[in-house]
């Protein structure tokens, strides 16, 4: 009997009613099912002993601890590590998809060189490194002729880049934009941390702390611990931001605000606190601050700019005052492109509560010791403004570098106004150290793929947002990288040597070993018994001892709560008054654009991973069209309905999308997700939606001269 | 008849706190990896996409600024009186083993999809397409869960293989496999949730957290009035969330406080 699957189904369905009770049919159904289902494309499972390898995630800057589950030595799944303070057993969707990314079709399989026709052809590592050396040698001694763009906020690799560049005569080591850049304008040494676990009232301005901001999984753990299932909450979370994003939706209260006006609201709250007699005598500029706030940030003014009702502002001030340990978190909704004003204004509230270096407050965290001779201090690297630089080059105000080195970053996609970046990059020799074939790699002259974090040694130093200084390592879970890749640290050391620049090490592993050895300069401890927040609250940990490298390379997490230096705090009255936002409406671009970020959409340098696609809702993407969100009143005002095609146009670019009516978006605003619209990568991420970075518009913040774009504006019209 | 209405000494179940779930979807990705579900190229057509666990977004439908959202992760609810079981002509699905998990034997499923039509929760998925793993990605398949071909219905099984492992472990350690401690058996989605919104355990065992939580006035089950008796409870202090959970009409009142 010839049976294909379809005729078998008809046969079975017809046969069921009459023959259900004869054993013959049962037997043949069973056999046939096995036969029909025995397709060659169903992979057979491979068995093998199960094991776990503890490591650290490098897919976004949050630095979670991951356990890579292996079967017969093959990584099969990523799980959150319970013994790691930044994950505590939890994971984010991007980290959960990490193992499968190893085999994403978008991976670059070996070094490649761009041909005259624009295609990339494989070359050997020897040839590739010789080319890199040749290109760098041409620039040697020419001032600022080599520029590095690093997407790794907290790796020691930046020391190698900066020292190599220094040896070549360049000062151009940049990080992709992030909160740490803004924070560095307030704090010139060390970085800012947030002691979430010990706070009982958390007020986040903009910072999407439960999804895409800072140490996201740790933040969620803290939030979860404060909201135990079936019991009373032990801390209240309030989110101030333009959209009811993940943080806004989960927080105990969401306060909708005009994008970019978070700082105004903060000072509106300060107004009430100051009126109520609060002071900050420890700050030298208290009186200037007081006068400025009381004179300008009156309830009417604040309402006009923020759209938040005066009673609500007063109520927030009251809640803060009655809390035992209030913590105020400044930030931008997309963790980039915010200005100093909002940041400093929100931060100043912490100072009114004398919250600096106190339990449940903000912490000044030390930078870990530098180990590469000739490298710039981390604080100096953090403080460099890539977007302003790129604009300068594009405008011809800054001379174009000869070579760009791009590491784990995708500036031609993920900088605001990517066409400006394209202009700045055009004509220079572009080297990409990316793992994946991203938009920047597509344009690159030379591709030197780095292994994924599952295949290499690397490190994570104090992720931004963490409440304590920390260090952990990433280590190769599989013995051999899957493709012909080479750790970028080793490539840099090799090429430096060939150029007679002495970076002091033979291999990147040695650099990391030196880093670990240098940790003994600080008072650190392993978090196996005492968590950093417990230590902050008074529990005494045992100082880290023994073989640090052995412990840390096997997964131990090193932390320190040491205060780096006595900090003379300023409320920042000068910078706050100089950077205050212009009090004017822009009628050419009448609608505020509230961009949204989420780990579902990948991260700044990773496109939406294959395993995250099912997470996208029907009203996030349909086929290749994505949605932008607005509330029904806004839609009505512009003659739009759900599912209508709409065009968002900014001063420099535009995007096509469909309309999703979502009431969790403020008035006269359109919310749009970042991370869609990839044109490179693979079929899983490519051609899905449009790139909102094209519509984000850079302006210069007066007073700080920082490039900002979190408060962009657009025109919307039916398309 | 009604053989499937067996009572069980152990009833594995979940209580999912909808006030705590942030809708991040880590549980969904964890489930995909744990259960060898092939990555889709286009998941935007939800009728044809495969994911055993789906996080729904609920809205209180109030206009801005009084809008509120909740996220509802929905695995198979492992109903006490499952609608999907009696309709299966080949007994590919059944509720018969200790623990009260509704099983699904893929090799026996003939793809008639009666169970899908019967399940009021859309918890079952039909393999419309060949599951395809990009070259090499099949190496990340776990040895625990067999892959399924086109033409069969799949669903969440509460990571049943983890239950088997936990029982084996108990046996090896000389403990009673029918008296697992809380935490011995945890499905992948529950384990990986960063906010701890999902609590898992034996609903019948007073020692387990879910037992008490399921009796809370804030706990409810989806479409309770259908009397399918799910072993997944939801929990919310917000009345509108509980109301939507059982499709209440405007004028009806709900339980809770
Ligand atoms: S992982 Fe947890 S918080 Fe995230 S969607 Fe699932 S249940 Fe909700
Ligand atoms: S939720 Fe649906 S598939 Fe699961 S047991 Fe109930 S009826 Fe069956
Ligand atoms: S219990 Fe297991 S199979 Fe079911 S949804 Fe959770 S991870 Fe998936």
Interface confidence, given as ipTM, is 0.93
Alpha helices in B9-157 (DSSP H): 26-34, 114-118
Mean pLDDT of B156-179: 95
In this prediction, residue A39 carries a pLDDT of 53
Confidence of residue A471 (pLDDT cuts 50, 70, 90): very high
State the sign of the Cα–Cα–Cα–Cα dihedral A133, A134, A140, A142.
negative
Tokens of A663: 């009431």
Average pLDDT value for residue range A76-89: 95
CB neighbours (10 Å) of residue A568? Answer: 8
Answer yes or no: is pLDDT of A393 > 70. yes
pLDDT for position A11: 37
The region of weakest confidence among A91-95, A139-143, A691-695 is: A139-143
- Asked if residue A434 has pLDDT above 70, the reply is yes
Residue B192: predicted pLDDT: 94
For ligand 2, say whether the CB of B109 is within 6 Å of any of its atoms. Answer: no
Q: What is the mean pLDDT of residues A186-209?
A: 93
Average pLDDT over residues B178-194: 95
pLDDT score recorded for residue B46: 84
Contacts of B192 in chain A (CB under 8 A): 79-80, 89-91, 96
- Which pLDDT does position A1 carry in this prediction? 36
Is pLDDT at A38 greater than 80 in this prediction?
Answer: no
- Residue in B43, B67, B109 closest to A664 by CB: B67
Residue B27 Cα to ligand 3 midpoint, Å, equals 8
Q: What is the mean pLDDT of residues A496-521?
A: 95
Please state, rounded to an integer, the average pLDDT across all residues of chain A: 91
Q: Angle at which helices A23-36 and A5-19 pack, to 10 degrees?
A: 160
Summary count for chain B: helices (H), strands (E)? 6, 10
Is B125 a pocket residue for ligand 3 (Cβ < 6 Å)?
A: no
Going by their DSSP bridges, the two strands A525-526 and B93-94 should be labelled as unpaired
Q: Does the beta-carbon distance from B107 to A34 stay under 8 Å? A: yes
Give the closest of B64, B146, B209 to A663, CB-based. B64
Confidence of residue A3 (pLDDT cuts 50, 70, 90): very low
CA of A66 to the centre of ligand 1 (A): 17
Q: What is the mean pLDDT of residues A291-314?
A: 94
Check pLDDT > 80 for residue B109. yes
pLDDT of residue B5: 62
- Asked whether residue A593 carries a pLDDT value surpassing 60, the answer given is yes
Q: How many CB atoms lie within 10 A of CB A687?
A: 13
Predicted local confidence at residue B47, as pLDDT: 84
Query: Is the CB–ligand 1 distance for residue B14 below 6 Å?
Result: no
Report the pLDDT value the prediction gives residue B232, as an integer from 0 to 100. Answer: 97
The mean per-residue pLDDT over the stretch A538-567 comes to: 90
- Decide: residue A615, CB within 10 A, 0-12 exposed, 13-18 middle, 19+ buried: buried
Atom number of ligand 2 nearest to Cα B85? 8
Average pLDDT of the segment spanning B158-170:
95
Mean pLDDT of B104-121: 93
Q: What is the pTM of this model?
A: 0.92
Q: Which residues contact B52 (CB under 8 A, 6 or more apart)?
A: B31, B35, B37, B75, B76, B123, B125, B154, B155, B156
Q: Which residue has the higher pLDDT, B253 or A93?
A: A93
- 3-class secondary-structure state, position A589: coil
Mean pLDDT computed over B147-163: 94
pLDDT of residue A89: 94
Flag whether residue B148 sits within 8 Å of chain A, measured between CB atoms.
yes
- Min mean pLDDT across A393-407, A421-435, A585-599 is at A585-599
Distance from CA of A203 to the nearest CA of B (A): 17
Decide if A639 touches B, using CB distance below 8 A.
Answer: no
Does B77 sit in the ligand 2 pocket, CB within 6 Å? yes
Mean pLDDT calculated for residue range A7-28: 40
Is 70 exceeded by the pLDDT of residue A40? no
Tens of pLDDT, residues A394-410? 999 999 999 999 999 99
Q: Of residues B249 and A714, which shows the higher confidence score? A: A714
Report how far residue B151's alpha carbon sits from residue B113's, in angstroms, rounded to the nearest whole number. 9
Answer whether A78 touches B (CB < 8 Å): yes
Q: Is the pLDDT of residue A167 over 50?
A: yes
> Side-chain half-sphere of A40: how many Cα atoms within 13 Å?
0
* Nearest Cα residue in chain A from B238: A252
- Chain A nearest-CA distance from B100, in A, is 24
Rounded to an integer, the average pLDDT of A98-106 is 95
Q: What is the pLDDT of residue A455?
A: 96
Which is the closest atom of ligand 1 to the Cα of A220? 3
| A534 exposure class (CB count in 10 Å sphere: 0-12, 13-18, 19+) | middle
Q: How far is the CA of A600 from the centre of ligand 1 (A)?
A: 12
Residue B203 in this model has a pLDDT that exceeds 60: yes
What CA–CA distance (Å, rounded) separates B80 from A552?
48
Please report which confidence band the pLDDT of residue A28 belongs to, taking 50, 70 and 90 as the band edges: very low
Query: Does the C-beta of B218 come closer than 6 Å to ligand 1?
Result: no
Q: Sign of the CA dihedral B143, B146, B150, B152?
A: negative
pLDDT digits (tens, 9 = 90+) for A657-676: 999 999 999 989 999 999 99
**Local confidence band at B98 (pLDDT 50, 70, 90 cut-offs):** confident
Residue A24: which residues within 8 A CB-CB, separation 6 or more?
A: none
Closest partner residue to B33 (CB to CB) among A77, A105, A622 is A77
Chain centre distance of CA B207 = 22
Quick one: tokens of A361? 């407050």
């Amino acid at each position: 009997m010839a049976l294909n699957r379809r005729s078998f189904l008809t046969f079975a369905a017809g046969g069921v009613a009459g023959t259900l009770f004869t054993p013959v049919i049962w037997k043949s159904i069973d056999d046939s099912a096995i036969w029909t289902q025995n397709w060659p494309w169903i992979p057979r499972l491979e068995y093998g002993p199960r094991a776990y390898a503890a490591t650290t995630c490098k897919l976004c800057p949050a630095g979670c601890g991951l356990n890579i589950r292996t079967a017969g030595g093959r990584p099969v799944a990523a799980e959150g590590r319970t013994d790691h303070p930044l994950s505590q057993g939890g994971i984010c969707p991007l980290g959960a998809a990490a193992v499968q990314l190893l085999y994403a079709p978008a991976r670059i399989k070996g070094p490649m060189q761009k041909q005259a026709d624009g295609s990339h052809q494989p070359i050997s590592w020897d040839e590739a490194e010789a080319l890199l050396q040749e290109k760098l040698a041409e620039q040697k001694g020419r001032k600022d002729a080599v520029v590095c763009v690093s997407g790794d906020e907290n790796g020691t690799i930046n020391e190698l880049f900066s020292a190599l560049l220094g040896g070549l005569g360049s000062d151009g080591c940049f990080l992709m934009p992030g909160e740490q850049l803004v924070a560095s304008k307030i704090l010139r040494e060390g970085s800012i941390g947030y002691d979430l676990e010990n706070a009982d009232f958390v007020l986040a301005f903009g910072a999407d702390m439960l999804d895409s901001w800072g140490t996201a999984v740790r933040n969620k753990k803290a939030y979860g611990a404060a909201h135990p299932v079936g019991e009373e909450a032990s801390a209240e979370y309030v989110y101030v931001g333009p959209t009811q994003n993940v943080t806004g939706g989960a927080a105990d209260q969401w306060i909708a605000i005009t994008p970019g006006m978070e700082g105004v609201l903060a000072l509106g709250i300060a107004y009430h606190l100051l009126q109520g007699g609060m002071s900050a005598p420890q700050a030298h500029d208290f009186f200037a601050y007081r006068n400025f706030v009381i004179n300008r940030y009156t309830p009417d003014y604040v309402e006009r700019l923020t759209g938040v009702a005066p009673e609500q502002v007063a109520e927030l001030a009251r809640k803060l005052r009655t809390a035992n340990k209030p913590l105020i978190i400044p930030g931008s909704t997309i963790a980039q492109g915010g200005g100093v004003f909002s940041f400093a204004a929100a931060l100043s509230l912490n100072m009114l509560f004398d919250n600096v270096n106190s339990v449940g407050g903000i912490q000044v965290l030390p930078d870990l010791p530098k180990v590469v001779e000739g490298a710039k201090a981390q604080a100096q690297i953090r403080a460099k403004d890539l977007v302003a630089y790129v604009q300068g080059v594009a405008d011809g105000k800054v001379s174009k570098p000869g070579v760009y080195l791009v590491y784990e970053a995708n500036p031609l996609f993920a900088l605001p106004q990517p066409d400006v970046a394209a202009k700045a990059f055009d004509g220079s020799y572009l080297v990409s150290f990316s793992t994946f074939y991203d938009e920047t790699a597509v344009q690159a002259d030379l591709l030197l793929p780095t292994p994924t974090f599952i295949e290499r040694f690397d490190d994570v130093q104090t992720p931004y947002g963490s409440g304590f200084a920390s260090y952990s390592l990433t280590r190769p879970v599989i013995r051999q990288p899957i493709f012909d890749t080479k750790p970028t640290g080793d490539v840099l050391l090799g090429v430096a040597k060939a150029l007679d620049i002495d970076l002091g090490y033979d291999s990147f592993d040695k650099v990391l070993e030196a880093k670990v050895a240098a940790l003994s300069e600080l008072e650190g401890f392993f978090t196996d018994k005492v968590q950093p927040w417990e230590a902050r609250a008074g529990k005494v940990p045992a100082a880290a001892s023994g073989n640090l490298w052995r412990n840390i390379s096997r997964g131990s997490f090193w932390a320190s709560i040491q205060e780096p230096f006595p900090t003379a705090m300023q409320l920042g009255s000068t910078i706050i008054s100089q950077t205050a936002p212009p009090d004017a409406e822009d009628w050419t671009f009448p609608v505020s654009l509230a961009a949204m970020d989420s780990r579902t959409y990948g991260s700044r340098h990773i496109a939406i991973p294959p395993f995250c696609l099912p997470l996208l809702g029907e009203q996030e993407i349909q086929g290749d069209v994505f949605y932008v969100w607005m509330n029904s009143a806004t839609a009505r005002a512009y003659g739009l309905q759900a599912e209508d095609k709409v065009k968002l146009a900014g001063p420099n670019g535009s995007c096509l999308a469909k309309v999703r009516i979502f009431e969790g978006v403020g008035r006269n605003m359109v919310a749009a997700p970042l991370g869609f619209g990839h044109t490179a990568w693979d079929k899983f991420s490519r051609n899905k939606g449009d790139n909102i970075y094209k519509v984000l518009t850079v302006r210069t913040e007066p007073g700080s001269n920082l490039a900002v774009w979190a408060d962009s504006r657009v025109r919307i019209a039916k398309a | 008849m009604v053989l499937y209405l067996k009572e069980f000494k152990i009833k594995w179940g979940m209580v999912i706190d909808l006030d705590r779930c942030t809708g991040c979807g880590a549980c969904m990705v964890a489930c995909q990896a744990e259960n060898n579900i092939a990555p889709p190229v286009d998941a935007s057509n939800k009728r044809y996409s495969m994911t055993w666990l789906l996080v729904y977004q609920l809205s209180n439908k109030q206009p801005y600024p009084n809008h509120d959202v909740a996220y509802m992760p929905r695995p198979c609810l492992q109903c006490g009186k499952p609608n999907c079981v009696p309709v299966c002509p080949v007994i590919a699905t059944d509720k018969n083993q200790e623990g009260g998990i509704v099983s699904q034997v893929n090799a026996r499923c003939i793809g008639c999809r009666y169970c899908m039509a019967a399940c009021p929760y859309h918890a079952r998925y039909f393999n419309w397409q060949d599951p395809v793993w990009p070259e090499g990605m099949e190496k990340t398949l776990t040895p625990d869960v067999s892959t399924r071909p086109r033409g069969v219905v799949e669903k969440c099984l509460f990571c049943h293989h983890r239950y088997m492992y936990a029982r084996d472990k108990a046996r090896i350690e000389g403990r009673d496999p029918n008296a697992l401690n809380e935490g011995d058996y945890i499905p992948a989605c529950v384990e990986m949730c960063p906010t701890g919104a999902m609590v898992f355990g034996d609903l019948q065992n007073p020692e387990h957290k879910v037992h008490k939580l399921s009796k809370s006035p804030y706990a409810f089950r989806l479409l309770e009035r259908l009397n399918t008796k799910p072993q997944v409870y939801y929990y919310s202090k917000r009345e509108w969330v509980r109301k939507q959970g059982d499709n209440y009409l405007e004028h009806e009142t709900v339980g809770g406080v």
